[in-house]
Structure 1
Amino acid sequence: MNARLVVVAVGVGLSVAGCNVAGSRLPDPHLSGRDAQYMALVPTADVGAAYERYLVDFKTSEPPGSIVVDTKNKFLYFVEGGGKAIRYGVATGQEAYGWTGRATIGGMQEWPRWIPPKDMLERWPHLQPTADAGGLPGGPDNPLGSRALYLHEGGKDTLYRIHGTNEPDKIGQSVSSGCIRMRDIDAIDLYNRVKLGANVVVI
């Protein structure tokens, strides 16, 4: 999902724990209804201890409720305040499609419909029938996974997303077209915590 590349020098005052597991492992959110039904069908993968969900020490100037994405180390932090954050493992954009900058959460969807964007159709024409059909409905086979957070800049959709994935084995890698992918269970957990309009910093 490519859009205008915006590179912003961000003064985040960031303290990153790297690949060390130094924090408290957090339990999975309770699932019911459609979440329980679909999550029983989504692919699973062992992402390794470093990319599980932890409450960690985290120093940043960003306010509580913000999201900070460390693309180099493949971590997403949800800022809790008090020097703490919840850390999730993520997959980020390939070098040619990486995105950095500041945004806000301009939209939030559960089990979102996926419509291949124009630049993706140019690279992979075999997806055109999916676009012509109005996209792929939300579900366990959808590449956006369980949740999508839509990143906006200046009130406009950047076309970048923080979303779940039907390829959890790719967590910890640079594989996407610029979006930030999370395990579906982590995308649900983050969705339950974040608010519309929250700040997002991708570094």
Structure 2
Amino acid sequence: MSIPTPSRRQFIQTGSALALTGLLGACASGVSAEKSATELTSAAASMYGPLPNEQFPIPAIDPKKIDPQYYRQEVRYKTDEQPGTVVVDTTKFFLYLVQPDGRALRYGVGLGRAGFAWSGRALIQWKRKWPTWTPPADMIARQPELEKYSYENGGMQPGLNNPLGARALYIFKDGKDTLYRLHGTPEYWSIGKAVSSGCVRLFNHDIIDLYQRVPNKTPILVI
């Protein structure tokens, strides 16, 4: 089915990084006070620390190994979209959760082939913690060794090595699964890059944060 591409909108964001303080569950939330690069890195060290209480404990990420622009942070963001909308900008490798008053929470993302394959408006139909992963048929055709994870075989069980990571958000349009996913990854080095496979990947810490913030039926725009 052909899915129309939305009309172009202009998005304006600050080049200055904005620090994050406070906690939402085990994850830090964004604030508006600007911080120096040193303060931002210090905040990130806490934000991306170990998560020992997860079903599969998640190790810390060294923030010095992450480009600071991909830290989770609050930014100025001009858009016509309503607060609560998720916007994925595949040209910039950013995901925005629109906030009131011209603000947004910005997350860095990595994109696979499937991440570039779809654009338009849809809904986050439902969400899963520590999901099972089932490779699509075309991936199994390219990589027959993945047959053991097919739907018929029950998929790959949850865990730190599961390609969907700690959480997955499933995108539907007109009641149909687009096969487009927002999901976690332990491969922190892939954020901000085009990788070989998958849809839209975030740090496991960030997909957990996003999972807690967005309910089912949240609108999503991919541009």
2:90 aligned partner:
71
The structure with higher relative contact order (CA 8 Å, sep 6+) is 1
| Shift in Å, 1:116 | 0.8
CA RMSD of aligned residues (A): 2.5
2:11 to 5, 11, 14: 14
1:48 to 67, 70, 78: 67
Residue 132 of structure 2 is aligned to residue 113 of structure 1: yes
2:163 aligned partner:
143
Paired residue type of 2:191: I
50 and 5 in structure 1: CA distance in 2 versus 1, 3 angstrom threshold: farther
Alignment of 1:1-203 (within 5 A): 6-17=3-14, 20-26=15-21, 29-31=24-26, 34-35=53-54, 37-40=56-59, 46-94=65-113, 97-131=116-150, 132-177=152-197, 179-203=199-223
| Shift in Å, 1:177 | 3.7
Q: Which deviates the most, 133-142 or 93-102?
A: 93-102
Paired residue type of 2:5: V
- Residue identity over aligned pairs, in percent, reads 40
36 and 125 in structure 1: CA distance in 2 versus 1, 3 angstrom threshold: closer
79 and 48 in structure 1: CA distance in 2 versus 1, 3 angstrom threshold: same
Paired residue type of 2:201: R
Following TM superposition, where does structure 1 have runs of at least 4 consecutive aligned residues deviating by more than 6 angstroms? 42-45
Does the Cα contact within 8 Å between 1:142 and 1:166 map onto a contact in 2?
Answer: no
Does the Cα contact within 8 Å between 2:161 and 2:186 map onto a contact in 1?
Answer: yes
**What is the rounded CA distance, in whole Å, between the counterparts of 1:139 and 1:200 in structure 2?**
27
**What is the rounded CA distance, in whole Å, between the counterparts of 2:219 and 2:53 in structure 1?**
28
Does the Cα contact within 8 Å between 1:12 and 1:62 map onto a contact in 2?
Answer: no
TM-score, with structure 1 as normaliser: 0.86
Give ranges in structure 1 of 5+ residues lacking alignment.
none
